[in-house]
Chains A and B, each alone.
Chain A
Amino acid sequence: MSAPQPLLDVREIEVRYGAIRALKGVSFSVGAGEVVALLGANGAGKTTTQKTVSGMLRPVAGTIEFEGRRIDGTPAHKLVDLGICHVPEGRHVFPRMTVAENLDMGAFRFKQPDPADLERVLELFPRLKERYGQHSGTLSGGEQQMLAIGRALMGKPRLLLLDEPSMGLAPLIVAQIFDIVREINRSGVTVLLVEQNASQALSLADRGYVLETGDIVLEGAGRDLLADERVRAAYLGEEIAAS
Chain B
Amino acid sequence: MSATDVSNRTATDSPASYDLPRTVRFGSLLLVVAALVVFPLVFTNPTITSVGVFAMIYLLAVSGWNIFSGYSGYIALGHALFFGIGQYSSAMLTSRFKIPAGWDLFALLPVAGAIAGLAAVPIGWMLLRVRKHTFIVLTIAVMFIFQLLAFNLRSWTGGSQGMQLPFPTWSGAYFNEPFYYIGLLAAAIALVTSWWVRRSKFGLGLLAIRDDEDRARSLGVRTTRTKLVAFAISAVFVGAAGAIYAPFIGSVFPQFAFDPSFDLALAVMAFTGGLGTLIGPALGALVIGSLQQYFLLQFGGANVFLIVYGLLFVLILRLLPQGIVPSIAARWRQWVTYRARNTPSTGVPPDSAPDVGRPFDVVLNQGGSA
Chain A interface residues (CB < 8 Å from chain B): 54-56, 76-77, 80-81, 86, 88, 92, 94-98, 100-101, 103-106, 108-109, 112-113, 115, 118-119, 122, 129-135, 137-138, 155
Quick one: given A101-B204, A108-B204, are A94 and B215 in contact (CB under 8 Å)? yes
B337-370 toward A: CB 8 Å interface, digit per residue (1/0)?
Answer: 0000000000001011111001001000000110
Q: How far is the CB of A109 from chain B (nearest CB, A)?
A: 4
Complex CA distance for A112 and B200, rounded to whole angstroms: 11
Q: Which of A104, A122, A155 has the most CB of B within 10 A?
A: A104
List residues of chain B with CB within 8 A of the CB of A88.
Answer: 215
Complex CA distance for A138 and B352, rounded to whole angstroms: 11
List residues of chain A with CB within 8 A of the CB of B349.
Answer: 130
- The residue on A at minimum CB distance from B368 is A95
Q: Which of A56, A94, A115, A137 contacts B6 (CB 8 A)?
A: A115
CB–CB B368/A133 < 8 A: no
Q: Which of B16, B219, B355 contacts A106 (CB 8 A)?
A: B219
Complex CA distance for A98 and B221, rounded to whole angstroms: 18
Q: How far is the CB of B336 from chain A (nearest CB, A)?
A: 12
- Which one of B136-144, B205-213, B302-310 contacts A? B205-213
Chain B interface residues (CB < 8 Å from chain A): 1-3, 5-7, 9, 13-18, 201, 204-205, 207-208, 210-212, 215-221, 349, 351-355, 358, 361, 368-369
Complex CA distance for A119 and B7, rounded to whole angstroms: 14
List residues of chain B with CB within 8 A of the CB of A81.
Answer: 220
Quick one: given A94-B208, A100-B9, are A135 and B215 in contact (CB under 8 Å)? no
Complex CA distance for A103 and B9, rounded to whole angstroms: 12
Quick one: given A98-B15, A113-B3, A118-B1, are A76 and B218 in contact (CB under 8 Å)? yes
Q: How far is the CB of A58 from chain B (nearest CB, A)?
A: 14
Q: Which of B5, B18, B218 has the most CB of A within 10 A?
A: B218
Quick one: given A56-B218, A105-B208, A130-B351, are A122 and B15 in contact (CB under 8 Å)? no
Quick one: given A105-B204, A122-B1, A133-B18, are A77 and B13 in contact (CB under 8 Å)? no
24 pairs, A vs B, C-beta closer than 8 Å: A55-B218, A92-B215, A94-B212, A94-B215, A95-B211, A96-B13, A96-B207, A96-B358, A97-B211, A98-B15, A100-B6, A108-B205, A109-B220, A112-B6, A113-B6, A115-B2, A118-B1, A122-B1, A130-B352, A133-B13, A135-B355, A138-B355, A138-B358, A155-B219
Quick one: given A94-B208, A133-B17, are A101 and B218 in contact (CB under 8 Å)? no
Q: How far is the CB of A116 from chain B (nearest CB, A)?
A: 10
Q: What are the 4 A-B residue pairs with the smallest beta carbon separation, nearest first?
A: A133-B15, A76-B218, A94-B211, A109-B220
- The residue on B at minimum CB distance from A88 is B215
Q: How far is the CB of B153 from chain A (nearest CB, A)?
A: 42
Q: How far is the CB of B17 from chain A (nearest CB, A)?
A: 7
* Number of A-B contacts defined by CB within 8 Å: 109
CB–CB A97/B208 < 8 A: yes
CB–CB B358/A80 < 8 A: no
Q: How far is the CB of A156 from chain B (nearest CB, A)?
A: 12
- The residue on A at minimum CB distance from B14 is A133
Quick one: given A97-B211, A130-B349, A138-B355, are A80 and B9 in contact (CB under 8 Å)? no
Complex CA distance for A133 and B9, rounded to whole angstroms: 9
Known: A95-B211, A130-B352, A134-B15; 8 extra A-B contacts, CB below 8 A, are A95-B212, A97-B208, A101-B9, A106-B219, A112-B3, A112-B6, A132-B15, A137-B355
List residues of chain A with CB within 8 A of the CB of B6.
Answer: 100, 103-104, 112-113, 115, 118
List residues of chain B with CB within 8 A of the CB of A115.
Answer: 1-3, 6
Q: Which of B7, B205, B212 has the most CB of A within 10 A?
A: B212
List residues of chain B with CB within 8 A of the CB of A106.
Answer: 219
Complex CA distance for A80 and B352, rounded to whole angstroms: 32
- The residue on A at minimum CB distance from B203 is A101
Complex CA distance for A97 and B215, rounded to whole angstroms: 13
Complex CA distance for A135 and B9, rounded to whole angstroms: 12
CB–CB B3/A105 < 8 A: no
List residues of chain B with CB within 8 A of the CB of A96.
Answer: 13, 207, 210-211, 358, 361
Complex CA distance for A94 and B217, rounded to whole angstroms: 12
Complex CA distance for A108 and B2, rounded to whole angstroms: 17
Q: How far is the CB of B365 from chain A (nearest CB, A)?
A: 11
Q: How far is the CB of B331 from chain A (nearest CB, A)?
A: 16
Q: Which of A56, A97, A118, A122 contacts B13 (CB 8 A)?
A: A97
- The residue on B at minimum CB distance from A130 is B352
Q: How far is the CB of A10 from chain B (nearest CB, A)?
A: 19
Q: How far is the CB of B248 from chain A (nearest CB, A)?
A: 37
CB–CB B220/A77 < 8 A: yes
Q: Which of A56, A130, A133, A137 contacts B358 (CB 8 A)?
A: A137
CB–CB A108/B219 < 8 A: yes
Quick one: given A92-B368, A118-B1, are A108 and B221 in contact (CB under 8 Å)? yes
